[in-house]
Amino acid sequence: MRVERSARAPRPLGLTLALVATAALYGVAPLLEVYFLTRLDATADEAFLLGGVTITAWTWLQGAFGALVLVICALAWWGRPPQIRFVLIALLLALTAIALYRVVEAARTPEDPIFGGQAQSALRDYLRCQLPGLVIVPLYVLWYLNRAPARAFYRRGPAAHHPAAPPASSGERAP
């Protein structure tokens, strides 16, 4: 005798894509930026780069948030606890607002001809290149996390199926 197990909702491919995009843009990219800034700061004196970078507490905070995003994305991929979906949405909105502020600030601030240097010019261009991703990725992630397949995955309940049409009675013909 075969016992059927309740069919849990599988992890949708769109959810995996949303989590990978979030991890790349908000987790890996900030960690790489912190890594390259520290490497650039360490070699600025040796390479005679004009206008080297300054490592501030904000830079380290950015790296910490990048690591936090990676942990939350891993928990969201696993699907436990079910409220992780809301935590991811809140964190995504907060980090998007901060990143958009940084892009606007970089665009508004005039380039300093004396202390601007190569490193700061490259960072300014890097922030401008992030703008399309800062619009498309959060919109997609917010849209997909609120779709029925993603909600069913986080509920760990059965996949939603449409009920079959009731069978026609013996005297009537089905259309």
pLDDT confidence of residue 119: 62
pLDDT confidence of residue 71: 97
Estimate the crossing angle of helix 148-155 against helix 13-23, to 10 degrees: 90
Please tell me which of 36-40, 96-100, 101-105, 137-141 the model is most confident about, judged by mean pLDDT.
Answer: 137-141
pLDDT band per the 50, 70, 90 thresholds, residue 115: low
Residue 71 burial (10 A CB sphere; 0-12, 13-18, 19+): exposed
pLDDT of residue 164 exceeding 80: no
pLDDT of residue 165 exceeding 70: no
145: closest CA among 36, 51, 29, 18? 18
- CA 130 vs. chain centroid, Å, equals 13
Q: What is the pLDDT of residues 36-92, one digit of tens each?
A: 888 877 776 666 655 556 778 888 999 999 999 999 999 999 998 989 999 999 999
More confident residue, 143 or 99: 143
Note whether 128 and 100 are within 8 A (CB): no
More confident residue, 3 or 149: 149
Residues sharing a CB contact under 8 Å with residue 100, sequence separation 6 or more, in sequence order = 134
pLDDT confidence of residue 27: 96
Tell me what the pLDDT averaged over the chain comes to.
81
Look up residue 40 and give its two tokens: 């650039």
Q: What is the pLDDT of residues 16-31, one digit of tens each?
A: 999 999 999 999 999 9
